[in-house]
Amino acid sequence: MPLKLLCSIAMFVLASTAGSARSLSGAGASFPAPAYAKWAEAYRAATGVKINYQAIGSGGGIKQVTAGTVTFGASDKPLKPQDLAAAGLYQFPTLIGGVAPIVNLPGAANGQVRLSGDILANIYLGRIRRWNAPEIAAINPRLKLPNLPITVVHRSDGSGTTFLFTTYLSRSSGDWQRQVGASDAVAWPIGLGGKGNDGVSAFVRQTKGAIGYIEYSYAKQNGATTLSLRNRSGRFTVPGMQSFAAAAASADWLHSPGNYMMLVDEPAAGAWPIVGATFILVPRRPNHPAEVRDALRFFAWGFRHGDTIVAALNFVPVPAPIEELLVRQWSRLIIADGKPVYSRW
Amino acid sequence: MAEASASSAIERRGPGEALFRFACAGAATLLMTALAGVVVSLAIGGWPAFRAFGPAFLYTATWNPVTDVYGAAGPIVGTLLTATIALSFALPLALGVAVFLVEFCPARLATPIGIAIELLAGIPSIVYGMWGLFVLAPWFAAYIQMPIALSAEAGSWADTVFSGTPNGANIFTAALVLAVMILPYMAAVFRELFLTIPPHVREAAYGLGCTSLEVVHSITIPSVRRSIVGVVMLGLGRALGETMAVTFIIGNSHSLPRSLFDGGATIASTIANEFTEATGALHEASLVALGLILFLITFGVLAIARALLRSTDL
Amino acid sequence: MTRADRRKLANGVFVALCGIATAIALSLLVAILWALVGRGLGGMGILLFTSDQPAPGSIGGLRNAIVGSLIMCGLGMAGALVIGILAGTWLAEYASGTRTAATVRFLNDVLLSAPSILIGLFVYELLVAPFGGFSGYAGAVALAFIATPIVVRTTEDILLLQPAELREAGMAVGAGRALVIRRIMWRAARTGLLTGGLLGFARISGETAPLLFTSLGNQFFNADAAQPMASLPTTIFQFALSAYDQWQNLAWAGALLIAVAVLIVNIVGRILARESHLS
């Protein structure tokens, strides 16, 4: 008898959920996920269209959009033009955010402790082991640094944040470039691996003398103590909307084939050195053009109306003239059956 | 367990019989097909890694996504260590709890305590991970690691075995969290098993003047010994493959751990951490190869258990 | 010390150890529940059930995740119970003692110990990539794969532990094998079968990794299993590791919800089992 009951329940559930059209789904990086979620909420209120975005990681986003299981993918790491062509994808940036190193040093205020890329690389290589080491003391003449061992914390999971951070270390230190390199996940010479921003943040918070790196929006929300870094022009800057925008403004957007754009170590005076854009990927010759068109309309709406939301979450929007450029690219580059997929509304 | 196999005459009774038998056999076949499917997809997915690295994959400890060189030694050692430590904590505790509930506990208390233990089993594994990271790790660092680090002399046995960054995220604490996770499963099923022993058998032993220890030792446990081994395998399998509870707290270092309190990685935590972000074909293949290795480890453990059971006659 | 004294002492130590074991287990339970209830209770309220998950900065609940989990766990358990009980019955009743049964049982244990993330990948290859989309059905199938071996194992164990007299009595009155199994053996083993189902449900209600590859997740309400579906564990996972306080509170509330749900299912199961024993 219970078997019969079970079967009838199963039948009922199956029948009531029988076939319907594909809905609009996107997947990928977790860095911009809060912004996309807020955009989607507001977009739904304004137009009734549901855009479902799930954060499964940049690699997952690239894989799924290539496999055609989602309408758009999101990646913190831009694809090079040849990889884009091979996968038949088009990418464009949507937001800009920054990565902030954080420390646990009793008494330190935000931005008080100064470091350079070179020193940071040596710390993460295990060559500088104490906070009162001469290299650090030299760059912080007015601070009395404690004789604490440095506990290095990094990400255990692959992430765009790691990609940005290691790109910065690679550009600052030839040794790091040779020994470790830059990627979503690297073979860290020393240190503890925390899972997600949360894991890194927790480890740093629990261990005196620890250093780690997390998304700036996360640091701001959780009150972690940030550092100031010396940028390419030689000035010490702190992470924040201004320094991110400065980095974005000085980037050469117009001459980036495939929109491949790295914003790390920008030369502008007030730029924060660890900044990156996050990208959306769609198929260039989509099999479901109506869905891609709806997705693009969503992002056009985000460009036009989503700036306040973006700022509230501590991201910086892509500069307005660049947004115009991108929208025009959509009409030109994304084609299905000989007709452009996207049209202005 | 002499089965009534001399019943072929009765079995032929009507189509309902044949249909039911077919359904049962069909379900078992479906299950086996699913298993075969999983193994095949793992083998196919992991083949590029084995082809690229050969048997060295099993004992190399590098894991470098930038230069695309991968070796499974670190995760393998971590998996085996955490699982064995976890089991050695959980098994005696689970047996103790089950015996307590069945033999000593007054009936009125036994049911709510039993429910409480099963409640532990129902807590999602991610909660264990979060609890481990935010509660256990700091406590462990403060009350266990620091005192040992301060009192052990450099170079002594204690120093070597217990060295490591004192922040509570290491193989040992991960094993502790695992032990807490598999404990309720095992205790719940042990209790269920003990309850199936007909009361009169135990009562007879008590009647003869046996103490509880003797009853448990010579009657309760031997009569369900086979199932106990099965439950231990359940627990071990869970411990080997557990992802969420371990990933937060194991410290995630791919090199071979130098001490019990050193960070490490398990196969499951490595896959969970890196799979969705892995874009390199070889990186992905290495992760799937890790999965296949885990499958084979579990297979090996279960095969050994089976061989042991055979040798100790039933 | 006389032999009797030694036995008494050994027994006393044994009882004490068992008591300590139980005390440890209970204090662990208290520690974890303390953390869970302390952080999760604040988020409980009617809003949790009536409102879908919010974007950061907005208030909301977990309705879409709850409904998604119910649908997928329900479908998954239905499949797991049907296949698991039938397969376990085959092992215990029809094939008991044969080499095939021993092999099947062994392979079942292997599937049982398979890390759920690998099962998720397998179901992805099977049901997501070829059909071009994530779906609640794929999630349910992954969950069924995870729960079925548990049900098979406990079914077989419980059926084998039933006294042979029950079977013999049924056959003695001329009942067919199937009838004996359904009417007598399954009834006698009801509590054990229930435990298998409950253990399976407890296991899959907290599974995260396989659902990420199969049902993806959905921040909107969706009861259509052919589309991506939210689930409590994946939403908890996403929220717990985020920077936003409301999200973290919702994560703990969701975790508390799962624990409470498993508790209720347990209690209901016991009540049903007791009623059936009395009737």
Band of pLDDT at residue B152, cut at 50, 70 and 90: low
User: Same domain for C80 and C39?
Assistant: no
Q: What is the CATH number of the domain that holds B258?
A: 1.10.3720.10
- Both tokens of B190, joined, read 């042990």
User: Same domain for C259 and C161?
Assistant: yes
User: Same domain for C53 and C28?
Assistant: no
Q: Which residue has the tokens 């507001």?
A: A42
Q: pLDDT digit string (tens) for A284-328?
A: 888 888 889 999 999 999 999 999 988 888 899 988 888 888 888
For residue C137, pLDDT beyond 50: yes
- Contact of C183 with chain A, judged by CB distance below 8 Å, is answered with no
Counting Cβ atoms within 10 Å, is residue A141 exposed (0-12), middle (13-18) or buried (19+)?
exposed
- Cβ pair A67:C54 closer than 8 A: no
Residue C273 is predicted with a pLDDT of 66
Asked if A215 and A97 touch (Cβ cutoff 8 Å), the reply is: yes
What pTM was estimated for this model as a whole? Answer: 0.80
Does ipTM surpass 0.85 in this model? no
The answer to the question of residue B3 being in a domain is no
The answer to the question of residue B68 being in a domain is yes
Q: Which residue has the tokens 């309220």?
A: C45
Contacts of B278 in chain A (CB under 8 A): 59, 158, 184-185
The answer to the question of residue B147 being in a domain is yes
- Both tokens of C235, joined, read 């939403």
Task: Considering only the beta carbons, identify the residue of C56, C218, C242 that sits closest to A52.
Answer: C218
- Cβ pair C243:A218 closer than 8 A: yes
Q: How far apart are the first and last CA of chain B?
A: 10
Give the CA-trace dihedral at C10, C15, C21, C23, to 10 degrees.
-140
User: Same domain for C66 and C124?
Assistant: yes
CA-based nearest distance C47→chain B, Å: 22
Domain count, chain B: 1
The answer to the question of residue B14 being in a domain is no
User: Same domain for C37 and C106?
Assistant: no
- Contact of A34 with chain C, judged by CB distance below 8 Å, is answered with yes
Q: pLDDT digit string (tens) for C9-68?
A: 888 898 899 989 889 888 888 888 888 888 888 888 888 888 888 887 788 889 999 999
* pLDDT, averaged across chain B: 81
Task: Considering only the beta carbons, identify the residue of B28, B271, B299 that sits closest to C104.
Answer: B28
* pLDDT, averaged across chain C: 85
The answer to the question of residue B261 being in a domain is yes
Q: How far apart are CA B237 and CA B299, in angstroms?
A: 9
Secondary structure class of A219 (helix, strand, coil): helix
- Cβ pair B4:C97 closer than 8 A: no
The answer to the question of residue B18 being in a domain is no
Identify the residue with better confidence: B162 or A200: A200
Q: Which long-range contacts (CB under 8 A, 24 or more apart) does A118-124 make?
A: A118/A172, A118/A173, A120/A168, A120/A169, A120/A172, A120/A229, A121/A169, A121/A172, A121/A173, A121/A175, A121/A176, A122/A173, A122/A175, A123/A150, A123/A152, A123/A211, A124/A152, A124/A154, A124/A169, A124/A176, A124/A188, A124/A189, A124/A190, A124/A191
The answer to the question of residue B81 being in a domain is yes
Identify the residue with better confidence: B157 or C197: C197
Q: Which of B6, B3, B16, B226 is nearest to C166 (CA)?
A: B3
- Cβ pair A183:B251 closer than 8 A: no
Q: How far apart are CA A8 and CA A2, in angstroms?
A: 10
Secondary structure class of A25 (helix, strand, coil): strand
User: Same domain for C20 and C75?
Assistant: no
User: Same domain for C33 and C57?
Assistant: no
- The Cα-based distances of C49 to C221, C254, C268 in angstroms read 12, 10, 21
- Both tokens of C74, joined, read 């329900």
For residue A122, pLDDT beyond 60: yes
What does the DSSP assignment read for A275-306? EEEEEEEEESS-SSHHHHHHHHHHHHHHHHH-
Q: pLDDT digit string (tens) for B78-124?
A: 999 999 999 999 999 999 999 898 888 888 888 888 878 877 777 77
User: Same domain for C38 and C61?
Assistant: no
Task: Considering only the beta carbons, identify the residue of A158, A187, A192 that sits closest to B263.
Answer: A192
- Both tokens of C67, joined, read 């409904």
Domain span at residue C39 reads: 3-43
Nearest CA in chain B to A156: B252
Q: Which residue has the tokens 């969701």?
A: C254
Q: How far apart are CA B277 and CA B279, in angstroms?
A: 6
Average pLDDT on B118-139 reads: 80
User: Same domain for C234 and C187?
Assistant: yes
What does the DSSP assignment read for B181-249? HHHHHHHHHHHHHHHTS-HHHHHHHHHTT--HHHHIIIIIHHHTHHHHHHHHHHHHHHHHH--HHHHTT
Domain count, chain C: 2
The answer to the question of residue B237 being in a domain is yes
Nearest CA in chain C to A223: C243
Q: What is the CATH number of the domain that holds C105?
A: 1.10.3720.10
Average pLDDT on A184-200 reads: 83
For residue B267, pLDDT beyond 50: yes
- Both tokens of C224, joined, read 């259509």
User: Same domain for C167 and C250?
Assistant: yes
User: Same domain for C34 and C121?
Assistant: no
User: Same domain for C36 and C142?
Assistant: no
CA-based nearest distance B155→chain C, Å: 34
Q: How far apart are CA B159 and CA B277, in angstroms?
A: 37
Residue C195 is predicted with a pLDDT of 77
- The Cα-based distances of A44 to A156, A294, C250 in angstroms read 35, 12, 22
